[in-house]
Structure 1
Amino acid sequence: MRQIVLDTETTGLEPSEGHRIIEVGAIELLNRRLTGRRFHQYLNPDREIDAAAVEIHGITNAMLEDKPRFADVAAQFLEFIEGAELLIHNAPFDVGFLNAELARAMSGGCALPVTVVEDYCTVQDTLKLARTLHPGQKNNLDALCRRYNIDNSQRVVHGALLDAEILADVYLAMTGGQTA
């Protein structure tokens, strides 16, 4: 089974208000084992990043000036996730942004094979899974790291690739640990 653990960082909270993805981080699991394959890209959002968002992830507009737009890497991204099960903590948030970016890329003339991520792969929300396993408890990524004794000391600010790596460890622990 091929799974992709994915996270994004964004300019704000609402794709419907024009907020954009500024970082995508994804790592591959094959039969519950890390393969070393990853997709990581910073993106120029062509808009200002909300101050509250900068406080969360530390990414500034100046850092993204020379980065590609989502449309420039969309085909490569879709190739990476094709046919996999995406594992995303709070999946509706990230999938909403990914679908908004796909729609924007297609309306800008980018020829893509799909209009929404869900047509290209399946999605599992690890936050929903955690809430099922641990009802009434905190189930954010930091709380899950504490619960499953996973080192997240490098996580000073949110980062898509680092958070995907941490989530992979959390997911494997939540679902029975690593298999031989």
Structure 2
Amino acid sequence: MRQIVLDTETTGLDWKSGDRVIEIGCVELLDRKLTGRHYHVYINPKRAIDPGAMAVHGITNEFLVDKPVFKDIVEEFEEFVAGGELVIHNATFDVGFLNNELSLLGRPTLAAICPSVIDTLKLAKEQNPGKKASLNALCSFHEIDNTHRTLHGALLDAELLADVYLAMTRGQESLIMVLEEPVPQMDDSEGGGLTERPPLRVLRASDAELTDHDKVLGEISKANKGHCLWAPPAPVVAS
């Protein structure tokens, strides 16, 4: 099972208004283990970054001047994520931006190259309704050190999200291990067939115990005025 934990940074909040992707960070999980492989790139958006966005991630227009445009990195990005299940926090945001970038180049959307997307924001809200579900809040809840996260960054946030996702889905690892255990094979040379079970010992109640039992049931039935499932209905007396 190959999964790609992904995050982006952008010039603003709305790709429909012309905002663009300026950073992509991905880390790879294979069978729920970090492989050490990652993908990270800064991108020149050919437009100015909104001051509000710059305050969040700290990436400046000047820093991106000499960085490649999206069409120069699209093939290597597609190659890295292809075939992997995407794990994204607030997936609608990142997927919307990336699909916009791909469509501007006439290329297939993420759904065509990745089998599915897990939204950890949605997952967190399902697991803990009413609780804060930001990446910082989830790091705190799952005791993951994020003290070095002073600003948002695509690769750093993807690395933190990978730890958060593994903590959120911790029970799945043992389930996978159980499913993958081989079925034990019988050796005919050692007798084969089913092992004969020893006879079961049956303990029956004594007469005194049965009498005491009936007495207790009678007391319960009396207290409930006969409305007990085990008590037969009282006979109807004809008038």
Q: Scaled by the length of structure 2, what TM-score is found?
A: 0.71
Q: 1:157 maps to what in 2?
A: 151
Aligned to 1:63, the other structure's residue is in SS state helix
Q: 2:69 maps to what in 1?
A: 69
Unaligned runs of 5+ residues in structure 2 are 178-239
- Give the AA of the match of 1:168: A
- Give the AA of the match of 2:129: P
Q: 2:125 maps to what in 1?
A: 131
Instruction: Give the drift of 1:47.
Output: 0.1
Aligned residues: 173
- Give the AA of the match of 2:62: A
Aligned to 1:168, the other structure's residue is in SS state helix
Q: 1:102 maps to what in 2?
A: 102
Instruction: Give the drift of 1:118.
Output: 1.2
Work out whether residues 43 and 68 of structure 1, in 8 Å CA contact, stay in contact via their aligned partners in 2.
Answer: yes
- Give the AA of the match of 2:56: I
Q: Distance in 1 between matches of 2:138 and 2:119?
A: 14
Q: Distance in 2 between matches of 1:70 and 1:135?
A: 38
Structure 1 runs, 4 residues or longer, greater than 6 Å off: none
Q: 1:54 maps to what in 2?
A: 54
User: Whose radius of gyration is greater, 1 or 2?
Assistant: 2
Aligned to 1:136, the other structure's residue is in SS state coil
> How do 1:8-157 residues align onto structure 2 when only pairs under 5 Å count?
8-106=8-106, 112=107, 114=108, 116-121=109-114, 122-157=116-151
Measured on the aligned residues, the alpha-carbon RMSD in Å equals: 1.2
Instruction: Give the drift of 1:105.
Output: 2.1
Aligned to 2:105, the other structure's residue is in SS state helix
Larger strand fraction of residues = 1
Q: Distance in 2 between matches of 1:80 and 1:177?
A: 28
Instruction: Give the drift of 1:164.
Output: 0.1
Aligned to 1:86, the other structure's residue is in SS state strand
Q: Distance in 1 between matches of 2:47 and 2:23?
A: 14
Instruction: Give the drift of 1:90.
Output: 0.1
- Give the AA of the match of 1:98: L
Q: Distance in 1 between matches of 2:35 and 2:80?
A: 13
- Give the AA of the match of 2:68: P
Identical counterparts, % of pairs: 59
Work out whether residues 25 and 161 of structure 1, in 8 Å CA contact, stay in contact via their aligned partners in 2.
Answer: yes
Aligned to 1:4, the other structure's residue is in SS state strand
Q: Distance in 1 between matches of 2:137 and 2:60?
A: 27
- Give the AA of the match of 1:150: I
